[in-house]
Amino acid sequence: LQERISQWHDQSSRYSTELRDFKNQVLGMLEAAEKEREAMRAEAESAAVRVDRLEREVDYLETQNPAPPCVEVDETLMDKQVATAKQRKNEKYTKLTDCSDTIASVRAMKILKRFGSASGLWTKDAAGSSEKIYVFDGTANDTVYVFPRMREFTLFSATRKAARIKLPYPWVGTGHLVYDGHLYYIRQQGLSFQVIKFNLANKTVVDSSVFPAEEQIPVFGLSPSTYIEVSADEEGLWAIYATKEDEKNMCLAKLDPASLDIEQMWDTPCPRENAEGAFVVCGALHVVYNTRLPSRARVQCVFDVSGTLAPEDASLVYFPKRYGSHASLKYSPRERQIYAWDDGYQIIYRMEMKKKLEV
């Protein structure tokens, strides 16, 4: 018995020594891992500082060296465009308001959240005073999510805080708009497209109209699902579209919000190629361009229907960081900001405005 007790003491002593050595070894490994983690954190912070500095330098270089204009300088093409413009009665637009502002730059950017699929749109009522947020998830759907305020939309990732509006017909693309208590959305029926005017209060279709353009094609080269972009500004409602008749450039039409009639139409010099979105500010079409590979979005073509803004006087507006490509850009004339949908991220761009220079 004494021998067995002595053997047990020897084994216990040996196990205690091994355990102490193993503990010391683990503590040494943990200290080394902590040092490596601190070193990696310092390297990551240093890399972030260098990336921010590089982005500031890129912004500076892009501002100092603007990209060449999109429009091709071709006398034959210009003559053809002039002749076509005369045939289609592209008269100078008589302004309804005294709005004389244009975009100078993007003053601030705020990323709200990531919601839904890669393509969609979100917006407020462009004309009314309602604070409701309307969310259109996807390019082909029939259910609109309505959040009572920005706070509910920002704080909750699920849709349980949102009301749902079931539309009588599914929409197509991301060119829809909420204006003065009504939803104006695009419906495809065969080869033609309809503008549907839907009353948001009583959930009924007020009016619908087949868009008077033949052989329509996607209006933006980088957004193949959008054939008509309905936009609002200080002057009212506009429709941006494209046809095979002049498949290189976009067309613009002034809409009557009450009857959906086309009041006037223009052929613009703004190309469809590499365009990802567009909006209208004070009667001037602003087209945002990009590339299929990730790069920086910018307003590169401006067409003023009233002729009060010369192309050379328009600012070349750059948008800050981006994730993929803007699926929609909705300008709010009462807030002077843009509600953007970028690869599933909902973003607000606050705009810096300036006065137009008379031509």
Residues 49 and 102 in one domain: no
Residues 47 and 138 in one domain: no
Q: Quick count: other Cβ atoms within 10 Å of Cβ 344? A: 17
Residue 88 covered by a domain? no
Q: Checking phi first, is residue 307 left (phi over 0); if not, alpha (psi -120 to 50) or beta?
A: left
Residues 149 and 290 in one domain: yes
Residues 113 and 258 in one domain: yes
CATH of the domain at 334: 2.40.128.630
Please give the residue that has the higher pLDDT: either 167 or 56: 167
The arithmetic mean of pLDDT across residues 307-328, rounded, is 78
Q: Which domain holds residue 27?
A: 1-67
Residues 201 and 344 in one domain: yes
Residue 151 covered by a domain? yes
**Number of separate domains in the chain:** 2
Residue 79 covered by a domain? no
Residues 62 and 171 in one domain: no
Residue 270 covered by a domain? yes
Q: What is the pLDDT of residues 44-79, one digit of tens each?
A: 888 888 877 776 676 556 555 544 444 343 445 444
Handedness of CA 137, 141, 145, 146 (dihedral sign): positive
- Boundary-marking domain end, from 67, 87, 107: 67
Separation between Cα atoms, residue 244 and residue 199, nearest integer Å: 33
Confidence (pTM): 0.74
Residue 85 covered by a domain? no
Residue 16 covered by a domain? yes
Residue 87 covered by a domain? no
Residues 102 and 16 in one domain: no
Average pLDDT value over all residues in the chain: 84
Please, what is the Cα angle at 295 between 104 and 337, to 5 degrees? Answer: 35
Residues 119 and 243 in one domain: yes
Residues 251 and 186 in one domain: yes
Q: What is the pLDDT of residues 9-47, one digit of tens each?
A: 888 888 988 898 899 999 989 999 999 999 998 898 888
Q: What is the pLDDT of residue 271?
A: 94
Residues 106 and 63 in one domain: no
Is residue 316 helix, strand or coil?
coil
Residue 207 covered by a domain? yes
Q: What is the pLDDT of residue 104?
A: 87
Residues 152 and 199 in one domain: yes
Is residue 61 helix, strand or coil?
helix
Residues 128 and 200 in one domain: yes
Q: Which of 33-42, 67-76, 91-100, 296-305 has the lowest mean pLDDT?
A: 67-76
247 pLDDT exceeds 60?
Answer: yes
Facing residues of 352 across strands?
105
